Chain A
Amino acid sequence: MPPMAHKELKRKTEKINEGKDVNGDDGWFWIVHKGIGAAFISIAVFGFLVRLAVSVHPYSGAGTPPKYGDFEAQRHWMEITLHLPIKDWYTNTSSNDLSYWGLDYPPLTAYQSYFHGLFLRFFLPESVALFSSRGHESYFGKLLMRWTVLSSDALMFFPAVFYFVFVYHAGRKNSHKSEIAWHIAMILLNPCLILIDHGHFQYNCISLGLTVGAIASVLSNNDLTACFLFSLALNHKQMSAYFAPAFFSHLLGKCLRRPNPLLEVLKLGIVVLGTFSLIWWPYIDSKEAFLQVLSRLAPFERGIYEDYVANFWCTTSVLIKWKRLFTTPTLKLLSLAATISTCLPSMVQQIWDPSKQGFLYGLLNSAFSFYLFSFQVHEKSILLPLLPASLLAIEEPFLHNWMTLSALFSMFPLLVRDKLVLPYIALLALFSLLNHAAPIRSRGTTGTNSLRSFVTSFFLLCALILHAVYFTMPAPDRYPFLYEALIMLLCFAQFVSLAVYTNAKQWMLLKRPILVQKEKKLL
């Protein structure tokens, strides 16, 4: 070997040893040693690859006339927004049949559909032609639609996550590089989000991306930006309201601590109102138009629950027939009261003592109470509580792992219907592998707790058996949805226990500062 190469080798080994000393050999060294930016890019590219691979699979309602599924709904919205005047988007007219996938998301979704419609029209005009494109299914059409989601994901969700990770770890004192890389991977490679957006077909990445951006803004004390971004998120999907109590209470608590609380609240309020009025501009000139849009956004006529969602109303309906016992208005009030009362503790905590960590727990808790108790919840809505859980992955690795698994499991019947079992298995395996490779410090240290390990292994065993039974044995004729009901029951039990745990955890945060102060005094 020539001397040059030898020297190089020596230098390299030295470098490696150096790296070892600093990082320990924790399996993430090779990805982070060029810095967090490079690590983020490579993980993001990998995440993008996985999303691309998932989008090859079928979408919801593929080849099932007459109603198809969410894919057709989104395509139909593009068709409507492209061809009708903006005032008619939400009203039933001769060319806009609201019973066929009428637009029922807030205006920002409509605008987004319009822009994506322009994109589709440029390449394949017949896929968004008025009337004639209903139920349009073609290879190229699918490709274009998939790319609208992929591009929104890459343009909204990825940068927002980068912003969040940057802010979050700047605020933590001893974040390890490999921990940060793992955290990025956990947020970007969340199997549930990928399956719903790129498999089932939805645009959650936009509203969740806006929410993550808002959360990052709160963490970096840009409250006005946070209000702006969160208002956008609310205007993209009304489901973002799951997070509203947390944002409201945390920002209120923060304002109350400032010298001029009223002014602060006023500033935030103006930003929110300004954003809203900007987005609702075409509809706020007449009361009817405004109310018409609003009525589309709240589909109370669909009943308090549908299908088998692992929330309170649906699960208890096995014993109590809510729909028969009460009228819809009563149920509305009932669910509203239940939701508010369950997220009240976390709100009080945040108003009492707003903290960045408490804010993240608050997001999780309010999203949980909405998922469990609000009116008309979809199984896909579990994505909302899952988001703060994945943001908390470093602090609560066990919670995050557990929650992702049960959320994925709760969506299993839906994914079977969409023929997405293969990506379900692959992404579940990928998630478990990544989770298994967590840097040593982030591995659940309290795993020794025998009760917890017993309960978790019990749930895992049940889930495993249910999977096996689901595929091998048809459900009995008397109870055709027996397995769905069992899955719902199992997931509900897990979600409730997780929600109780996170609520308790948030309140325990109050004690911690005192402890820290004591420690400081001792030192």
Chain B
Amino acid sequence: MEEHSNQKLNLASKRHNPIPELWWFFAVAACVKLLLIPSYHSTDFEVHRHWLALTNSLPLSQWYFDETSPWTLDYPPFFAYFERFLSVFANIIDPQIVDLQKGLNYNSNTVVYFQRVTVIVSDLCLVYGVFRLSRNLDSLRRKSIWVLIIWSPMLVIVDHLHFQYNGFLLGVLLISLSYLEEGNDLMGGFVFAVLLCFKHLFAVAAPVFFVYLLRHYCWGGGFLRVFKRLSAMGAVVVAVFLAAYGPFVYYGQIQQVISRMFPFGRGLCHAYWAPNFWVFYIILDKGLAFLLRRLGFNIQAPAASFTGGLVGDSSPFAVLPRVTPFTTFIMVLVALSPCLIKAWRDPQPGKITRWVAYAYMCGFLFGWHVHEKASLHFVIPLAIVAVQSMDGARHYFLLSIGFSAIFESGVSVKKASLENKRDDQPELKTRTAAQKIGFSIGRVEKNYLVGIIVVEIWGRFLHPLVFGDKFPFIPLMFISIYCTIGIMYSWIWQLKWIVRCVGS
């Protein structure tokens, strides 16, 4: 493997410089993103605008206390610093954007253009991450990765329609992975620590990073070496966290920051059912309740719902035991354990991307209050894996289509059709792009994809015709269940892959 990649390196260096081509891919994507500027954006747009105002007009000590708007700051400090940095330019362009009071729900052209452009520009981080990860590959694979990630329809929908900075954050993740793949563990750990201080949701993969770094970087070679390396890594990580949280520790606000970042008051599922394991659990509960009621038991209908954003203290389950955040935490750890064991036994740089993707997938399947957007965390790294093997490509294809469908459905609840009809298109774009990599999908997968189209058509056209406005949740539920099946399938496949390939 090592030899192989060396050969590739030589070949690649002989050929022409890939950087202009990479710019080309980025620029084409940027053109499409520019066209999408006036299209629909979610409340996340106002969230980020408010954070610009908040970080610009308040002193650091009040950032995590402010309650001017319901959209309080709930990202770690580095992201707040990032918003502070952006707010400097926002202030130059239009001071109303960063006005704490007058800026509320400000929706003029300047703010839309400014915020959209910041997302487009911050995608450069993603491009750099992709470049680092793919520079040693041959031309075709390199281009496949570029197409899959830089032109990723999921990213376009979530970042450039819905509005978030996932491209930027995933770019940081990819940079970290690229350092690990190169064997530069210290830098990899450093960048990952930085990422955690940008968005704490990425912490799901922290166990994998921890075990891998401990074993691959620190372990072996006598006590002194272990100690030296351990303290080096520790110092780097602590320094990063100190840079992020230090000021808040100084003001004695760390508790407030933590409570903002981890709102466990929310329900098990997000308002739009993320297609994870808990969907099955909920359905099982409903089914059992129905059955038992038929059998004559007195089952009380639960007072709280799963889909509501905020859930009170009452259990939403009628029959099955209640799920607590702690249960989900244990479940994630259990699901992760095969991967952790592998990483401990045989820490290979070539496999870290796959492990990390798997970890995010576990977090997505079993986590607490998972948002469907969290699927980006594993679909994008999987794109890297996808070009390494046929099977990987097949699963990537499956997942990305599945998720495009979910985003679309999630988005369509909130808005009328011009925008979301458009959402179908990038989906097709990747599809055709994926076809170009040259793999054939199996029968199961083909049927699955046909099924998705059926479910979509049902939700979009047939359901309103048959039921009218009644049962608006049914199409969403179908999509969510259907995607869960696909994801579980893919998850089991990945688990199998990780368990199977031991030491080759």
Same complex origin of A and B: yes
Surface stretch bound by A, among B324-332, B414-422, B468-476: B414-422
The reply to whether the CB of B1 lies closer than 8 angstroms to some CB of chain A is yes
Q: Is B38 a contact of A56 with CB atoms below 8 Å?
A: yes
Closest residue of chain B to A425 (Cβ to Cβ) is: B34
Known: A49-B32, A53-B39, A429-B27. A5 touches B438 (CB 8 A): no
- Chain A residues whose C-beta falls within 8 Å of the C-beta of B31 in the assembled complex: 426-427, 429-430, 433
B138 at the interface (CB under 8 A from A): yes
CA gap between A200 and B39 in the complex, in Å: 17
Q: Report yes or no: A30 in contact with B416, Cβ–Cβ below 8 A.
A: no
In the complex, the answer to whether B416 meets A38 with C-beta atoms within 8 Å is no
Partner-binding segment picked from A11-19, A256-264, A369-377: A11-19
Q: Is the interface of B mostly helix, strand, loop or mixed?
A: helix
0/1 string, A408-440, CB within 8 A of B gives 1: 000000000000001101110110011011000
Decide if B34 touches A426 in the complex (CB within 8 Å): yes
Near B by CB (< 8 A), chain A positions 53-87 give: 53-57
Looking at the assembled complex, report how far the CB atom of A307 sits from the nearest CB atom of chain B, in whole angstroms: 27
B419: chain A residues within 8 A (beta carbon)? 56
* B35 near A48: Cβ-Cβ < 8 Å: no
Interface segment out of the listed B221-229, B285-293, B423-431 = B423-431
Which residues of B are found within 8 Å of A30, using beta-carbon distances? 140, 143-144, 147, 433, 436-437
When the two chains form their complex, are residues A38 and B435 in contact, meaning their CB atoms are under 8 A apart? Answer: yes
- Select the stretch in A39-47, A113-121, A159-167, A466-474 that faces chain B: A39-47
Chain A residues, CB < 8 A from B34: 422, 425-426, 429
Q: Name A48's closest neighbour in chain B (CB-CB).
A: B425
Cα A437 to Cα B18 in complex, Å, equals 13
Q: Let me know if A15 and B438 touch, CB within 8 A.
A: yes
Q: Contacts A5-B389, A430-B31 given: A146-B418 contact, CB under 8 Å?
A: yes
Q: Which of chain B's residues have a CB closer than 8 A to the CB of A9?
A: 388-389
Determine if A171 is an interface residue (Cβ-Cβ < 8 Å).
no
Residues of chain B within 8 A (CB-CB) of A45 are 425, 428-429, 432
- Given contacts A1-B1, A30-B147, A49-B425, is CB(A54)–CB(B436) below 8 Å? no
Q: Specify which chain A residues have a CB less than 8 angstroms from the CB of B436 in the assembled complex.
A: 30-31, 33-34, 38, 42
Give complex CA distance A45, B422 in Å: 11
Residues of B within 8 A of A5 (CB): 389
Find out whether the CB atom of B416 lies under 8 angstroms from the CB atom of A140. yes
Asked if residues B429 and A143 are in contact (CB atoms below 8 Å), the reply is no
- A143: contacting residue among B144, B417, B500, CB under 8 A: B417
Q: Is B499 an interface residue (CB 8 A)?
A: no
Of B16, B27, B38, B504, which one neighbours A1 at CB under 8 angstroms? B504
Contacts of A398 in B (CB 8 A): none
* CB-contact partner of B36 in A29, A38, A56, under 8 A: A56
Judge whether B254 is part of the interface by a CB distance below 8 angstroms: no
Q: How many angstroms from the CA of A56 to the CA of B416 in the assembled complex?
A: 13
Inter-subunit contact A34/B140 (CB<8 Å): no
Chain A residue at minimum C-beta to C-beta distance from B147: A30
The yes or no answer to A8 lying at the interface (CB within 8 A) is: yes
B30: chain A residues at CB < 8 Å are 429
Chain B positions 314-337 with a Cβ under 8 Å from a chain A Cβ:
none
State A306–B182 Cα separation when bound (angstroms): 65
Flag if A430 contacts B432 (CB, 8 Å).
no
A52-B422 contact in complex given A433-B24, A433-B28, C-beta closer than 8 Å: yes
Per the bound structure, the CA–CA distance linking A49 and B432 in Å amounts to 13
Considering only CB atoms, which chain A residue lies closest to B20 in the complex? Answer: A436
In the bound assembly, the distance between CA atoms of A422 and B37 in angstroms comes to: 9
Q: Is A27 an interface residue (CB 8 A)?
A: yes
In the assembly, what is the distance between CA of A146 and CA of B436, in Å? 31
Check if A42 sits within 8 Å of B432, measured CB to CB.
Answer: yes
Is residue A139 within 8 Å, beta carbon to beta carbon, of the partner chain?
Answer: yes
The distance from the CB of A425 to the nearest CB of chain B, in whole angstroms, is: 7
Instruction: Check if A2 is an interface residue, CB within 8 A of chain B.
Output: yes
Indicate whether A29 sits within 8 Å of B416 (C-beta atoms), given known contacts A1-B1, A46-B429, A437-B24: no
B16: chain A residues at CB < 8 Å are 25
Residues of A within 8 A of B36 (CB): 53, 56
Query: Do A33 and B37 contact each other (CB < 8 Å), given the known contacts A13-B138, A49-B425, A52-B425?
Result: no
Return B152 CB to nearest CB of chain A, in Å. Answer: 14
Tell me if A50 counts as interface (CB < 8 A to partner B): yes
B122 at the interface (CB under 8 A from A): no
Whole-angstrom distance between the alpha carbons of A38 and B437 in the complex? 12
Complex: A13 Cα to B389 Cα, angstroms: 12
Among B35, B140, B143, B421, chain A packs the most CB atoms within 10 A around the CB of: B35
- Cα distance A434–B428 in the bound complex, in angstroms: 20
Q: Is B211 an interface residue (CB 8 A)?
A: no
- In the bound complex, residues from chain B placing their C-beta under 8 Å from that of A437 are 24
Q: Which of chain B's residues have a CB closer than 8 A to the CB of A16?
A: 138-140
Once the chains are docked, how many angstroms separate the CA of A146 from the CA of B32? 18
B425, A34: Cβ atoms closer than 8 Å: no
Contact of B501 with A by CB under 8 A: yes
With A and B bound together, what is the CA distance between A436 and B23 in angstroms?
A: 12
B468: shortest Cβ distance to chain A, in Å?
16
Residues of B within 8 A of A42 (CB): 429, 432-433, 435-436
**A41: B residues at CB distance < 8 A:** 432
Residues of A within 8 A of B138 (CB): 13, 16
Alpha-carbon separation in the docked complex, A277 to B429 (Å)? 43
Closest CB of chain B to A238's CB: distance in Å? 32
Whole-angstrom distance between the alpha carbons of A25 and B14 in the complex? Answer: 13
Contact B24–A2 (Cβ < 8 Å): no
Query: Complex Cα distance A49/B389, Å?
Result: 30
- 8 Å CB interface, B390-417 against A: 390, 416-417
**What residue of chain A has the Cβ atom nearest to residue B27's Cβ?**
A433
In the docked arrangement, what's the CA distance between A16 and B141, Å?
A: 9
Task: Give the CA-CA distance A41 to B435 in the complex, in Å.
Answer: 11
A140 and B31 alpha carbons, distance in the complex (Å) = 26
> Closest residue to A139 on the B side, CB-wise?
B416
- Residue numbers in B under 8 Å from A140 (CB-CB): 416
Chain B residues, CB < 8 A from A53: 32, 35-36, 39, 422
- Asked if A56 and B425 sit within 8 Å, CB to CB, the answer is no
Further 12 A-B residue pairs, CB within 8 A, beyond A33-B436, A426-B31: A13-B138, A16-B140, A29-B140, A34-B438, A45-B432, A49-B425, A49-B429, A53-B35, A142-B418, A143-B416, A422-B34, A437-B24
10 tightest A-B contacts by CB? A42-B432, A53-B35, A430-B31, A426-B34, A49-B425, A52-B422, A143-B418, A426-B31, A16-B140, A45-B428
Can you give 18 contacting A-B residue pairs, CB < 8 Å? A16-B139, A20-B139, A33-B438, A34-B438, A38-B435, A42-B436, A45-B425, A52-B422, A52-B425, A53-B36, A53-B39, A55-B418, A56-B418, A57-B35, A139-B418, A427-B31, A433-B28, A434-B28
Query: Which residues from chain B sit less than 8 Å from chain A, CB to CB?
Result: 1, 15-16, 21, 24, 27-28, 30-32, 34-39, 138-140, 143-144, 147, 388-390, 416-419, 421-422, 425-426, 428-429, 432-433, 435-438, 500-501, 504
